[in-house]
Amino acid sequence: MPSIPEADLEHVLAHTRGLWEPLRGSHLFVTGGTGFFGRWLLESFAFANQRLDLGAQMTVLTRDPVAFKQRLPEVAGQSCLTFVKGDVTDFTLRQVRGQLPAGHPGTYSFVIHAATEASAQLNENDPLRMIDTIVAGTRRTLDFAAECGAHRFLFTSSGAVYGAQPPDVTHVSEEYSGGPDCNNPRSAYGEAKRLAELLCACYSGRGIEALIARCFAFVGPGLPLDIHFAVGNFIRDSLNGGPIRIGGDGTPCRSYLYAADLAIWLWHILFRATPNRPYNVGSDASLSIAELAALVAESSGEPVEVCIARPGTPDAPPSRYVPSTCRAASELGLENWIPLPEALHRTFAWNRAGAPALAPAVTKS
C-alpha cells in the first residue's frame, strides 16, 4: 500500500504544530497502532517528529510485528518507531521492556489505547470475545500506564456508547444519557466501550489523566474497503466499475470525518482535552446512505450506477448515527477542515495509486 500522502501529513502538522513540545525527548506508547486509526497516528507522529526535531520515540504494541513490517515497510522502517510483540489483553511492562532497544528507559509519558476488534462479524458471532478484548485490553493498558509512569492516557471509544440514536435527535451530544440495549448480545461492542470508559474514570485515583474520544465514522487513505464500513464498500464498488449496491433502503443518516482531520482531533484531545470528559469525534454534516452512495459515484469520476435494494417505508423516521461536535469546537477549536467531497476525492486518488482491488459485496446499511 502507498504511504499517506505528504499533503495530508502537512495538513495534520499545520493544525497541530503548537501541540508537540510535551513530547520533546519523550516516549509514547500505542496499542492498536497497526489499524486504520493507528496508521494515521504513527505516520503523523513520525512526520511531526522529523519536521520539528522532537527526538521523541513511539513504541507500538502489535500481535505480529513481522507481518506489519512486510505490509508497510516504509512506515515500520521509521527510526522513531519501535514495534513490540504482545496481545493487548495480557501484555506486561516486563515483556515490553525485554524487546526495547538498548538505551530505552522503558518509561512513557503518554499512552494511546486504540486497540479494538472493530468487526461487525465478531460482534455478531462472538460477542464475549468482543467484550473481553475491549474491557480486558483497556484495563491491562491502564495498568501498564500506571506502571510505566504515564500521566496522559487517550482512549479511543465509540459513538456506539449512546446506543440507538433517537429519531428526533439529529445530532447526539456527549450529554445524552441513553445507552445500548443491555439485553441484546449485539450491544456487546457499545456496552464494552461504556465499561472501558468507566475503567478510565476509576483509574483517575492512580494518577492517570484519561482522555476520551468517542469516535463515529471516517473516510480516508487506509480505510478498509472490504468490511462493514458503508463508505468503504461504496468506494470499492466504484473502483470495480460498479454498481454501488445498497442492501437496505438508503435512508439511514451518517456523517464522515476525513482521516487527516481525525488525526488532528486525536492529537488535540491527547494534549489538550479535559480528563474524564468525553469528546465526540466526527463530522456533524449529516447525509443519508443513498446520498452518500450518489456522492461516492460522482466523486469516482466514472459513470457508476447506484442500486438500492428496496424502497423506504413511508413516514418512517430514519436511523441516525451523527454526532454533535459542539464541545470539540468550543473547547478545543476543532473543525471539519476537509469536506466530504474532497475527502472522497483524496481517498479515491490514494486507492488508485496502489491499493489492491477488492471483490464486490453488498453493503447492508
Hey, where are the domains in the chain? 6-224+257-285+322-341
pLDDT in tens, 183-232: 999 999 999 999 999 999 999 888 899 999 999 999 999 999 988 899 99
For 144, the enclosing helix (H) or strand (E) is helix 127-148
pLDDT band, very low/low/confident/very high, at 123 (cuts 50, 70, 90): low
Q: 6-224+257-285+322-341: which CATH topology?
A: Rossmann fold (3.40.50)
Q: Exposed e or buried b for every residue in 121-155, given b needs 16+ CB within 10 A? A: eebeebbeebbebbbbbbbbbbebbbebebebbbb
pLDDT band, very low/low/confident/very high, at 313 (cuts 50, 70, 90): confident
**Residue 362 cell numbers, joined:** 453488498
**For 25-40, what is the mean pLDDT?**
95
With a cut of 90, say whether residue 178 has pLDDT above it: yes
- Is the entire prediction scored with pTM above 0.85? yes
Predicted pLDDT at 205: 81
pLDDT band, very low/low/confident/very high, at 81 (cuts 50, 70, 90): very high
- Contact at 8 Å (CB) between 255 and 284? yes
Predicted pLDDT at 227: 85
With a cut of 60, say whether residue 357 has pLDDT above it: no
Q: State the chain's mean pLDDT as an integer.
A: 93
Predicted pLDDT at 314: 84
Q: Which residue has the higher pLDDT, 111 or 34?
A: 111
